[in-house]
Amino acid sequence: MALTSSPERADRQDPDDPDRLPPADGPKPRRVSRAMPSPNPNTNLMITDIVVRGSGLFLRRKLKDRMLLEEYDPEQVTKFKDGKGLLRTVSLFGASRLASGSLPGLVLVAGGLAAKTIYDRGKARQLRRRRTRKQRA
């Protein structure tokens, strides 16, 4: 795709691409360049991807640590964080890819998380009932 160099050639067809029609309102003006680290757009996309993923990972870890420290003792928090195995890591990665890939995937993952939350609350309720029964007896 060649850019036309002068306004008088804007009406003509591009000789490099004869099937392409000339724009109705003339050639588009070039955008003013923003300050980017590299003149190569692929390099800029890679840099942006690394920065966004890195900052997201950093913020997620800090948020998870803060959330756990609000509810549990620091020794329990280290036990929770160290108990993350390979199977759990792979399954979380798969679920996140499924949820971010499509709307049905998002609905499936969100429904599974809601079901797990309801199951955990039911188990906690059963445990509380058992403890109160043991204390009464």
Specify the pLDDT at position 128: 92
Residues 127 and 104 in one domain: yes
Specify the pLDDT at position 81: 75
Residues 90 and 137 in one domain: yes
Residue (of 108, 135, 61, 3) closest to 127 by Cα position: 135
Q: Which domain holds residue 118?
A: 85-137
Residues 79 and 89 in one domain: no
Residues 76 and 90 in one domain: no
Q: Which residue has the higher pLDDT, 11 or 102?
A: 102
For 22, counting Cβ atoms within 10 Å of its Cβ (0-12 exposed, 13-18 middle, 19+ buried), the class is: middle
Specify the pLDDT at position 136: 86
Specify the pLDDT at position 18: 64
Contacts of 36 (CB under 8 A, 6+ apart): 44
Whole-model pTM? 0.49
Residues 89 and 104 in one domain: yes
Residue (of 96, 89, 90) closest to 110 by Cα position: 96
Residues 89 and 130 in one domain: yes
Specify the pLDDT at position 85: 75
Residues 61 and 101 in one domain: no
Specify the pLDDT at position 28: 65
Count structural domains, the chain. Answer: 2
Residues 73 and 120 in one domain: no
Residue 11 pLDDT greater than 70, yes or no: no
Residues 95 and 72 in one domain: no
Confidence of residue 87 (pLDDT cuts 50, 70, 90): confident
In this prediction, residues 1-8 reach a mean pLDDT of: 50
Asked if residue 122 belongs to a domain, the reply is yes
Report the percentage of the chain scoring pLDDT > 70.
74
Residues 73 and 111 in one domain: no
Specify the pLDDT at position 30: 64
Asked if residue 13 belongs to a domain, the reply is no
Specify the pLDDT at position 129: 93
Asked if residue 7 belongs to a domain, the reply is no
Residue (of 14, 9, 15, 11) closest to 24 by Cα position: 11
Asked if residue 133 belongs to a domain, the reply is yes
